[in-house]
């Protein structure tokens, strides 16, 4: 039989969890979080008191773990019923002073398309614990844990160590990946229902700018600057840049996501001013606005990153597709050119293979 350590009255705990009434400062808080399987199992990865910011009634929110893209990451999913007051021991809320009481628990975790659940199973037991029998079900987008008896932080003698309920294998697919507690509750023996807070458990680590194409990156040119053909989000940019000065009659025309755009460049405008005027024209177009298409001013390819603010750039980039680009200038030197495609970065796997082949070729040539 699992051990229970909390002596907090059940009605008070339920009110605190469901938000029906504020509990006293010593009321326990359920913390849901994850730890790498390579670390001490379910050791609390943050300071709850610091997270409360001086407010003992504030629910501490554990920070999410960051996982890399295209790599399987093993995590222990943990729960700890934590109290800011030593007078209320951490542990489970399933004891009323006369002995343990049964708890039925259901926890549902959800992953958005940026994270894939590769595997999930009940967490391996620590030597000092007698674990209840949990059932773990999963698919690519969710993990569900169902168990009987206390799981809310049976932490033995270590007050900073929670109770593992499942072990999951996650793989990051997109920079925006999120794995979170979607829904969780605990039904006690007396049919009182306690709700768990919804928290983000893990997010993907943004590796854009490291020079290697990973995950959903379309490009990676070893920087996070816009206007050089590969955006700060590692997406291939559509756009163009100006050179020269407008004459007495300079007209730019192009198609942006199927919408024709014409800009009568003000005479005497230099390349930077022409870019500013073009961006304003695009962003004032009502049809493009309904399509959520916009433009921004950026540095031109021959303007190195850090050479100035984007407002001094001679380039125009957009989240739409640019076609049919042309400029006619009478009596001036203003010209326009498409942004060059970014140099393709080599995915890490191919890079490692290429280096191996190169090494073998050198050895054979000796």
- 15-30 tens-digit pLDDT: 222 222 333 334 577 7
SS3 283: helix
Contact 128, 81 (CB under 8 A): no
Question: Using the 8-state DSSP alphabet, how is residue 237 labeled?
Answer: P
Structure tokens at 4: 């229970």
Return d(Cα 364, Cα 366) in angstroms, integer: 5
pLDDT digits (tens, 9 = 90+) for 57-75: 888 888 999 998 888 999 9
Report the chain's terminal Cα–Cα distance, integer Å: 68
CATH number assigned to the domain covering 10-204: 2.60.40.680
Q: Which residue is associated with the tokens 């072990």?
A: 167
pLDDT at 106 over 50: yes
Q: Does residue 10 sit in helix, strand or coil?
A: helix
Length of the chain: 366
Is the torsion defined by CA of 228, 229, 235, 240 positive or negative? positive
Q: How far apart are CA 298 and CA 54, in angstroms?
A: 44
* 344 has a pLDDT exceeding 60: no
Tokens of 34: 């994850």
Of the candidates 241, 234, 216, the residue with the CA atom closest to the CA atom of residue 296: 241
- Give 297's pLDDT tier (boundaries 50, 70, 90): confident
pLDDT of residue 13: 25
Beta-carbon count within 10 A of 302 CB: 11
What is the structure's pLDDT at 245?
A: 96
| Chain segment 171-216, per-residue pLDDT in tens | 998 878 999 998 887 766 556 667 777 889 999 987 777 787 766 6
What is the DSSP secondary-structure string of 159-193? Answer: TTB-EEEEEEEEEE-STT-EEEEEEEEEEETT--E
pLDDT range class, residue 285, cuts 50, 70, 90: very high
Q: Decide if 91 contacts 156 (C-beta within 8 A).
A: no
List Cβ neighbours of 55 (8 Å cut-off, separation of 6 or more): none
> What is the rounded average pLDDT of the residues 24-39?
75
pTM tops 0.75, yes or no = no
DSSP state of 331: S
Average pLDDT of the chain is 75
Cα separation, 216 vs 52, in Å, equals 36
Q: What does the pLDDT look like over 83-94, one tens digit per residue? A: 776 544 444 444
| Model pLDDT, residue 132 | 56
Read out DSSP for 222-248?
SS--SSSSB-TTS-BPEEEEEESB--S
Backbone φ/ψ region at 222: left (φ over 0), alpha (ψ -120 to 50), beta = left
Percent of the chain with pLDDT over 70: 68
Read off the pLDDT band of 356 (50, 70, 90).
very low
- Asked if residues 88 and 28 have their Cβ atoms less than 8 Å apart, the reply is yes
Annotated domain spans of the chain:
10-204, 208-366
């Amino acid at each position: 039989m699992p051990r229970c350590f909390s002596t907090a009255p059940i009605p008070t705990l339920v009110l605190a969890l469901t938000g029906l009434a504020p509990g006293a400062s010593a009321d326990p808080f359920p913390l849901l979080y994850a730890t790498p399987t390579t670390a001490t199992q379910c050791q609390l990865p943050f300071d709850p008191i610091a997270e409360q910011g001086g407010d003992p009634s504030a629910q501490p929110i554990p920070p999410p773990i960051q996982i890399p893209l295209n790599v399987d990451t093993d995590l222990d999913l943990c729960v700890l019923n934590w109290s800011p007051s030593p007078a209320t021991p951490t542990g489970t809320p399933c004891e009323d002073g006369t002995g343990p009481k049964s708890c039925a628990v259901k926890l549902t975790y959800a992953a958005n398309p940026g994270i894939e659940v590769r595997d999930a199973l009940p967490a391996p037991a620590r030597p000092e614990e007698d674990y209840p029998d949990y059932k773990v079900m999963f698919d690519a987008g969710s993990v569900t844990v169902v168990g009987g008896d206390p799981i809310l932080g049976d932490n033995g003698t270590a007050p900073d160590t929670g109770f593992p309920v499942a072990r999951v294998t996650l793989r990051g697919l997109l920079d925006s990946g999120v794995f979170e507690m979607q829904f969780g509750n605990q039904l006690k023996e007396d049919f009182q229902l306690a709700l768990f807070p919804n928290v983000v458990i893990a997010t993907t680590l943004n590796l854009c700018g490291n020079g290697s194409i990973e995950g959903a990156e379309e490009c990676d040119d070893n920087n996070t600057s816009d206007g050089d053909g590969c955006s700060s989000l590692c997406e291939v940019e559509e756009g163009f840049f100006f050179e020269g000065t407008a004459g007495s009659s300079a007209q730019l025309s192009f198609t942006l996501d199927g919408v024709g755009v014409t800009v009568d460049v003000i005479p005497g405008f230099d390349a930077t001013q022409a870019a500013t005027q073009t961006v304003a024209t695009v962003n004032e177009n009502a049809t493009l606005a309904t399509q959520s298409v916009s433009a921004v001013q950026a540095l031109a390819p021959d303007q190195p990153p850090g050479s100035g603010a984007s407002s001094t750039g001679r380039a125009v980039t957009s989240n739409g597709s640019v076609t049919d680009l042309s400029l006619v200038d009478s009596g001036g030197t203003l010209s326009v050119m498409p942004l060059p495609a970014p140099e393709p970065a080599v995915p890490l796997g191919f890079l490692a293979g290429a280096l191996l082949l190169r090494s073998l070729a050198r050895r054979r040539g000796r």
